[in-house]
Amino acid sequence: MKRRLPSAATATSAARIPPPGLPGLNPRWSRIVRVQEGGGRPTVDWHVLDNAAELTEADITPVGTVLCVHGNPTWSYMWRSVLEHATAQALAGGPAWRVIAVDHLEMGFSERTGARRTLPDRVEVLGRLTNALWLTGPVVTFGHDWGGVISLGWALDHPDQLAGVMLFNTAVHQPADTRIPSPLRVALAPGVLGTATVTTPAFLETTLALAHPPLPPDVKEAYRAPYRTRADRGGIGQFVADIPVYATDETAPELYRINQGIRSLDVPALMLWGPRDPVFGDRYLNDLISRMPHADVHRFEGAGHLLAEDVDIATPALSWLDEKVRRRTRPGSAESRAEDVRMEPAVEGSADGTPYRPLWSAIDRHSEHYAPALVELAPPAGQGPRVVSWRLLSRRVRELAAGLAWAGVKKGDRVSLLIPPGADLTAVLYACLRIGAVVVVADAGLGLQGLTRAVRGAWPDHVIGALPGLTAAKTLGWPGRRISTLRLSPPVRRALGVSHTLTELAGRGVGAKLPPEPSPEDPAAVLFTSGSTGPAKGVVYSHARLAALRDALAAQYDIRTGTGLVAGFAPFALLGPALGATSATPDMDVTKPATLTARATAEAISAVHGEVLFLSPAALENVVATAKDLDRESRETFRQVRTFLSAGAPVPEPLLAEAAMLFPNAEPHTPYGMTEGLLLTDISLDGIRAAIEDADPLGGVCVGTPTASTRIRIAPLDSDGRPTGELTDEPGVTGEIVVSAPHVKDAYDRLWLTDRASRRDSGPEERWHRTNDVGHLDDGGRLWVEGRLQHVLVTADGVRTPVGPEQRIERVPNVVRAAVVGVGPIGAQQAVAVLETVPAGAAPRLAEADLTAAVREASPLPLAAVLVVPKLPTDIRHNSKIDRSRLADWATRVLAGGRMTSP
Average pLDDT over residues 816-824: 94
Reply yes or no on domain 792-895 having CATH 3.30.300.30: yes
Cis peptide bond prior to 839, omega within 30° of 0: yes
Q: Give the orientation angle of helix 447-458 with respect to helix 467-475, to 10 degrees.
A: 80
- Residue 656 makes CB contacts below 8 A (sequence gap 6+) with 646, 668, 670, 685, 688
Question: Which pLDDT belongs to residue 764?
Answer: 53
State the DSSP code for 847.
P
Q: Is residue 450 predicted with pLDDT exceeding 60?
A: yes
Domain 676-789: state its class. Answer: mainly beta
In this prediction, residue 608 has a pLDDT band, given cuts at 50, 70 and 90, of very high
In this prediction, residue 333 has a pLDDT band, given cuts at 50, 70 and 90, of very low
- Residue 376 or residue 876, greater confidence: 376
What CA dihedral angle connects 115, 120, 123 and 126, to 10 degrees?
-30
Q: Is residue 859 predicted with pLDDT exceeding 70?
A: yes
pLDDT digits (tens, 9 = 90+) for 160-201: 999 999 999 999 998 877 777 777 777 777 777 888 899 999
In this prediction, residue 399 has a pLDDT band, given cuts at 50, 70 and 90, of very high
DSSP-based helix, strand, coil % in the chain, nearest 5:
40, 20, 40
The rounded distance, in Å, linking the Cα atoms of 629 and 337 is: 64
Question: Which pLDDT belongs to residue 630?
Answer: 93
Percent of the chain with pLDDT over 70: 93
Average pLDDT over residues 62-89: 98
- Residue 651 or residue 261, greater confidence: 261
**What 3-state DSSP class applies to 310?**
helix
Question: Which pLDDT belongs to residue 660?
Answer: 94
- Residue 252 makes CB contacts below 8 A (sequence gap 6+) with 244, 246
**What 3-state DSSP class applies to 402?**
helix
In this prediction, residue 379 has a pLDDT band, given cuts at 50, 70 and 90, of low
Rounded to two decimals, the pTM is: 0.91
Q: What is the average pLDDT score of the chain?
A: 91
Q: Is residue 535 predicted with pLDDT exceeding 90?
A: no
Least confident range from 34-43, 49-58, 719-728: namely 34-43
Q: Is residue 1 predicted with pLDDT exceeding 90?
A: no
The rounded distance, in Å, linking the Cα atoms of 865 and 428 is: 54
- Residue 209 or residue 421, greater confidence: 209
The rounded distance, in Å, linking the Cα atoms of 779 and 274 is: 47
The C-alpha angle 666, 668, 670, rounded to 5 degrees, equals 150
Q: Domain segments of the chain: what residues? A: 18-326, 361-585, 676-789, 792-895
pLDDT digits (tens, 9 = 90+) for 13-51: 999 999 999 999 999 999 999 998 876 778 999 999 999
Question: Which pLDDT belongs to residue 344?
Answer: 36
Question: Which pLDDT belongs to residue 763?
Answer: 57
Distances (CA, A) of 262 to 129, 135, 146, 459: 22, 21, 15, 21
Average pLDDT over residues 269-277: 97
Q: Which fold has domain 18-326?
A: Rossmann fold (3.40.50)
Average pLDDT over residues 801-811: 93
Q: Is residue 217 predicted with pLDDT exceeding 60?
A: yes
Q: Is residue 141 predicted with pLDDT exceeding 90?
A: yes
Q: Which fold has domain 361-585?
A: Rossmann fold (3.40.50)
The rounded distance, in Å, linking the Cα atoms of 486 and 473 is: 16
Burial class (CB in 10 A: 0-12, 13-18, 19+), 332: exposed
Q: Is residue 645 predicted with pLDDT exceeding 90?
A: yes
Q: Is residue 353 predicted with pLDDT exceeding 90?
A: no
Extended strands (E) in 327-451: 372-376, 386-389, 414-418, 438-441
Contact 645, 685 (CB under 8 A): no
Average pLDDT over residues 681-702: 88
Average pLDDT over residues 845-873: 94
Average pLDDT over residues 374-387: 77
Say yes or no: do domains 361-585 and 792-895 share a fold. no
- Residue 805 makes CB contacts below 8 A (sequence gap 6+) with 699, 818, 820, 831, 833, 859, 860, 861
